[in-house]
Amino acid sequence: MAASIKLEIVTPERVVVDESVRTVVAPGLLGEFGVLPGHTSFLTALKLGALRYENSSGKTCYVFIREGFAEVLPDKVTILAEAAERRKDIDLARAEAAYQRAKERMERKSREAEVDFARARAALSRSIQRIRLASGEERH
Ligand code: ATP
């Protein structure tokens, strides 16, 4: 059995992670799932959340995931995500600005019918997840 897993996290814009890791825990649509080397193969959708993995030195690393799919093979995990950022690459000021914008849109909704509430709520959820990750609140 392989002693490590190759983890690839890819977005339409770039390769965010490409490394050999010891474990992966990802935000599956039906709940978080963990992968160790030799895991049974499966495919699943991912929801907005944080993925974490233990790198080859045993350090836990966090990655923001904006929905996508995961393909799990015994020796490889491939994540295709709409957007993804390593914790250290999250721009906290940008996420806070997105939070304020989305909150203000949702507050305006009661007065202006053209504000897309679902879109604003989704933007709010993304910003909250990014802020939690970037400010180190995401610890399991
Ligand atoms: P914003 O309104 O700030 O663009 P958003 O949630 O609409 O936020 P996304 O559509 O999820 O942004 O992402 C668009 C691109 O911008 C992606 O490449 C994503 O990785 C990047 N991105 C978005 N927000 C941040 C952030 N706070 N820090 C770093 N990269 C970000």
pLDDT digits (tens, 9 = 90+) for 57-79: 999 999 999 999 999 999 999 99
Which residue ranges does the chain devote to CATH 1.20.5? 91-134
pLDDT score, position 121: 92
Non-local (6+) Cβ contacts of 28 within 8 A are 44, 45, 46, 47, 70
Q: What is the pLDDT of residues 15-58, one digit of tens each?
A: 999 999 999 999 999 999 999 999 999 999 999 999 999 999 99
90 lines ligand 1 (CB under 6 A): yes
Name the CATH code of domain 91-134 (choices 3.40.50, 2.40.128, 1.10.3470, 1.20.5): 1.20.5
**Closest Cα to atom 15 of ligand 1:** 83
Domain span(s) for CATH 2.60.15.10 in the chain: 5-88
The rounded distance, in Å, linking the Cα atoms of 131 and 89 is 12
Mutate to test the pocket of ligand 1, among 82, 104, 126, 128 (most ligand atoms within 8 A of CB): 126
Bridge partners, 43 (sequence order): 71
Answer yes or no: is the C-beta of 120 below 6 A from any ligand 1 atom: no
Q: Across residues 102-124, what is the average pLDDT?
A: 82
| More confident position, 77 or 113 | 77
- Domain 5-88 matching CATH 2.60.15.10: the answer reads yes
Residue 2 belongs to what H/E stretch?
Answer: none
